[in-house]
Each structure stands twice: as structure tokens, then as C-alpha cells.
Amino acid sequence: MEKLIPLGSPFKIIVKTCSPKNEIIGFDEEKQAYRVNIKAVPEKGKANIEIVKFFSKLLKKRVEIIKGLKSREKILRIIS
């Protein structure tokens, strides 16, 4: 995935919270977004924090949410 997304380029994800584990389950061609399961609950930003930690660990780069803090559809960006 890291090779598919250049540094600084935004990419879209669709999040399903309260899942058994954190994982990328596929790519939605229609919405041009990665489908992601996240263990955390969507309360007080817990799921957003989990998303940033998950993608940062996966990509071994810093990641930030640039759009969609209160939505299932989010846009992330690799920042370093």
C-alpha cells in the first residue's frame, strides 16, 4: 500500500468501527476508497486516534486525517 500512495498524497478510507480487529478489508472501486475495520468505538475521537495509529504503524510513516473527523468516509494523508 505504501508504494501505491506517494508521500503527501491524500487517500480515502471508509471505516467500520467496533470490529473484532483493525484491518484493511479491500478497495471499493466505485468510491475509490479503502475499506477499513477498526476495533475502537466512534466516541470522543477514539476511532480516529485508532485509525491514525493503525495507518502510521502499517505504513511506518506519520499519517493525519485531513477530512471526515465525524464521518465514516475520511481522507488521510501521509505527512512523513
Torsion sign, CA atoms 75, 66, 4, 40: negative
- pLDDT-derived band at 3, boundaries 50, 70, 90: low
**Per-residue confidence (pLDDT) for residue 47, from 0 to 100:** 96
Mean pLDDT of 14-19: 96
Mean pLDDT of 1-25: 86
Q: pLDDT tens-digit profile of 29-76?
A: 999 999 999 999 999 999 999 999 999 999 999 999 999 999 999 999
pTM reported for the whole predicted model: 0.89
Q: Which CATH superfamily is domain 10-78 in?
A: YggU-like (3.30.1200.10)
**Per-residue confidence (pLDDT) for residue 64, from 0 to 100:** 96
> What residue type is 31 in one-letter code?
K
Q: Give me the residue spans of the domains in the chain.
A: 10-78
